[in-house]
Amino acid sequence: MYAREVEEVLLAVEGVRDAAVIGLPDRVWGEVVTAVLVPAGASRDSAGVVDACRRALPGYRVPKRVYWLDELPRNAYGKVLKRQLREEVARQDAPAVAGSRAASALTIPSGPSNAPPSGTESRWLPITNPGRPPTPPRPARPTTPRDSPHGRW
């Protein structure tokens, strides 16, 4: 997925002056699409932004979290510094981890919850490698023509 595709949809939404899309860590999905926006005026309509994205993008590209900043960090050439942006969003999200929700963030629930089901805390483990099982070892190569299934090399 290209972040630019989502950013173009976000920039077309009324009330958004600037936009950047980053991936933030998630316990279930690995990373979730996160929109960091600069408002064009005083209004910050996160739900309207998400609705506009749902109409224009497939579900897996719709931002799951929306953050509003006064300005996006940029380098001398005007490129958004996404690493610095991730750190800034993590600082804003720190109160949410401590128990209270950050006022500037809207978290959109999607799919299974990040929290383990109640009563299963001791049994619940995150999936570390959901890939297929390892392939079995190959059989040894015949050492003599007699060992070969065809009687020759």
Per-residue pLDDT of the chain (153 residues; tens, 9 = 90+): 688 999 999 999 999 999 999 999 888 888 899 999 999 988 888 999 999 999 999 999 999 999 999 999 999 999 999 999 999 888 887 655 444 344 445 554 444 444 555 554 545 555 555 566 777 777 777 666 666 666 665
Find out whether 17 and 39 touch, Cβ atoms under 8 Å.
yes
pLDDT score of 135: 72
- Is the whole model's pTM more than 0.85, yes or no? no
Domain ranges of the chain: 3-107
Question: Among 29, 44, 24, which residue's Cα sits nearest to residue 113?
Answer: 29
Find out whether 6 and 63 touch, Cβ atoms under 8 Å.
yes
Burial code (b: 16+ CB inside 10 Å, e: under 16) for 36-48 equals: bbeeeeeebbbee
CATH 3.30.300.30 fits 3-107, yes or no: yes
**Interval 104-142: pLDDT, tens:** 455 544 444 445 555 545 455 555 555 667 777 777 776
pLDDT score of 98: 45
- Which residue type, as a one-letter code, is found at position 122? S
